[in-house]
Amino acid sequence: QSVLTQPPSASGTPGQSVTMSCSGSGSNIGTDTVSWYQHLPGTAPKLLIYSNDQRPSGVPDRLSASTSGTSASLAISGLQSEDEGDYYCASWDNSLNGYVFGTGTKVTVL
């Protein structure tokens, strides 16, 4: 029951840039912050972005994120093979009084 909508897939060749969106509503992205995660099957999801645009220590500055109104986006520049995986956005929803996740975007490096 994903409340946040993401495109199912995105792809690019090494060195290119990809951008993915995350569409929500006034009860989540419109009023609370967004985080982004990379998930590879069989592993722990990894925090990439918190508080809309902040990178944790160790996350390369090739990754950047922004929000506008009820939408958010994540951009990866200088695409590398290690960037492959599933990417999820997340936020707190004040109507549900709980966390909500995006539908996920599968990134493929061609």
32 DSSP assignment: S
Of 39 and 62, the one with the shorter C-beta distance to other proteins is: 39
DSSP state of 60: -
Q: What is the rounded CA–CA span in Å between residue 85 and residue 38? A: 6
Q: H-helix or E-strand containing 34? A: strand 34-39
Letters for 20-49 (x = contact with other proteins by CB under 8 A, - = none) are ------------xxxx-x-x--xxxxxx--
Q: Contact between 102 and other proteins (CB under 8 A)?
A: yes
Q: Which of 50, 62, 64, 70 binds other proteins (CB under 8 A)?
A: 50
Cα distances (Å, whole numbers) of residue 62 to 27, 82, 99: 30, 12, 27
| Of the candidate residues 9, 51, 94, 108, the single one contacting other proteins (CB under 8 A) | 51
The residues of the shown chain that bind other proteins, judged by CB under 8 A, are 1-2, 32-35, 37, 39, 42-47, 50-51, 56, 88, 90-92, 96-104
